[in-house]
Chains A and B, each alone.
Chain A
Amino acid sequence: MKIHKIIICTLFLFSLQTAMAQDDLLGQLDTKPVKKEAVTATFKALQIANLQSTKLPAKGEFYLLISHRFGDLTEGLQNFFGLDNANTKIGGIYGIADWLSVGLSRHTFQKNYETALKYRLANQLEGGFPVTIVGYNTFDVNTELSKDDYPSLQFSNRLAYSAQLLISRKMSESLSLELAPIFTHKNLYNNVSENANLMLLGFGGRYKLSKRLSLNLEYDTRLNAKEDNPYQNPITLGLDIETGGHIFQLVFSNSQAMNDVTVFNNSTGNGSKGIFFGFNMYRVF
């Protein structure tokens, strides 16, 4: 009788086994991936607003970029809320490799040509390395300066540089933060109000309001600005709107210029005066 019971019990267990068979089979397939995946979509666009984000184009991708900053909003009807004197930046960025891109843009401000190099040094991994680290360098040529005005002008006087280290972390699906130590150098500068070399610490972040909308904010503190200089720490608020192959960024900034060296050195808006509205529009090919 005892054996009988054992057999019945075993039979019962086996019948359970059959019922669970499909789950078991699925369990056999469900092994954890060995490779740690890179975290993606930390930021929607290549820029947070004015500051670069840690996003790079993928290999072979071409981004066309058109940005505008209108005149000072606070002047009101005087300049039709800034529409009278807009600044334009037009440029392109190309992904040579997934970790390396080059960019070239032309700015209304100072008839500036800005070349840019962006390279990823490390990627945040799921359950692994905590941050994404990207290097960004810009090289500006001011073509507005003329020999007629400055007879002893040399080519090197036209040049300015920035070197930036961008460190970001996707904290959650909606929140990403960035920290950016920045160094800029100007060959030509006003020695009363500016330094040849400026160091800054930038902070940026984005918060996703919905799948295709995000609110962005960035602020940079100048660490060695001259006392009594007329400039302000750059601050920019942005809203990303993503529509398939386009990314629109509406921005409010205290800088009208868009080349990095000028944004970092010569932002003028102080809250009551100098609010510049504009947008960055990216089209991806």
Chain B
Amino acid sequence: MKKISLLLLLFLIGNYCFSQKMITRTGKITFEASMPSFEEIKATNNSASCILDESTGDFVALVLIKSFKFKAPLMEEHFNENYMESNTFPKATFKGKIQNFDAKKLSATKSTYDLQGDLTIHGVTKKINTKINLVLNSGKITATSNFDIHPQDYNIEIPNLVKDKIAKNVNTIINFILEPQ
């Protein structure tokens, strides 16, 4: 018993000490909620941060809502004031795990994994399931993913007057280039 626990302990310590974390603070997130023949609704954020723990596959990300930039300044103001209520809910977070992740299998060719976790937007947390593509290139991991977000799932209210101008499915694209910490 003593031996086993000692071994386990050593294993855990080893795991803990050698766990390699990959990080970015300049991740790119773009979303688009445009409807055909209406004004373009599109914003990009270039300061998303993300950590991937290579030993466990834990994948977390954080983004400040106010850093989403639109073409039209007024749209950006309304996005923050009326839709996202960024003063009350300043950030969106993701906390999850890349399923069956194995750092040794990463290569310069794209490999696709399942990504599961909790996405929190506008103070509401929802479980999401999506695919994530990983590419290893000169020590950096490029992680990309593409999924839809439904504003009503996160209690983001869209008034009747503009209902036809805003897409029900907001297409979201992430592109993170993770470097060793």
A residues engaging B (CB < 8 A)? Answer: 3-4, 7-8, 10-11, 14, 17-18, 21-23, 25-26, 28-30, 33, 37, 40-41, 58-59, 61, 173, 211-212, 242-245, 284
Complex CA–CA separation, A86 to B153 (angstroms): 48
Stretch touching chain A among B53-61, B107-115, B123-131, B140-148: B53-61
Contact of A25 among B6, B58, B165 (CB under 8 A): B58
- In the assembled complex, the Cα of A18 lies from the Cα of B53 at a distance in Å of 11
Contact in complex: B49, A4 (CB < 8 Å)? no
In the bound complex, do residue A4 and residue B159 qualify as a contact, i.e. CB atoms below 8 Å apart? Answer: no
- Of the residues B53, B77, B93, B162, contact of A21 by C-beta under 8 Å: B53
Residue B82 at the A interface, CB < 8 A?
A: yes
A17 to B165, CA, bound (A): 46
- Bin chain B's interface residue count: 35 or more
Question: B residues engaging A (CB < 8 A)?
Answer: 1-2, 5-6, 8-9, 12-13, 16, 21, 25, 39, 49-51, 53, 56, 58, 60-62, 64, 66, 73-74, 77-78, 80-82, 87-88, 91, 93, 95-97, 117, 157, 159, 161-162, 165
Residues of A within 8 A of B2 (CB): 3-4, 7
> In the complex, what distance in Å separates the CA atom of A188 from the CA atom of B2?
101
- A10–B5 CA distance with the chains assembled, in angstroms: 10
Bound Cα distance from A52 to B116, whole angstroms: 51
Please give, as numbers and ranges, the residues of chain A lying within 8 Å of B39 by CB-CB distance: 245
Give how many A-B residue pairs fall within 8 Å (CB-CB).
80
Give A4's nearest chain B residue, CB to CB: B2
CB–CB A11/B62 < 8 A: no
Determine if A11 and B161 form an interchain contact, defined as CB atoms under 8 angstroms apart.
no
The 4 closest A-B pairs by CB, nearest first: A58-B73, A29-B62, A25-B60, A29-B49
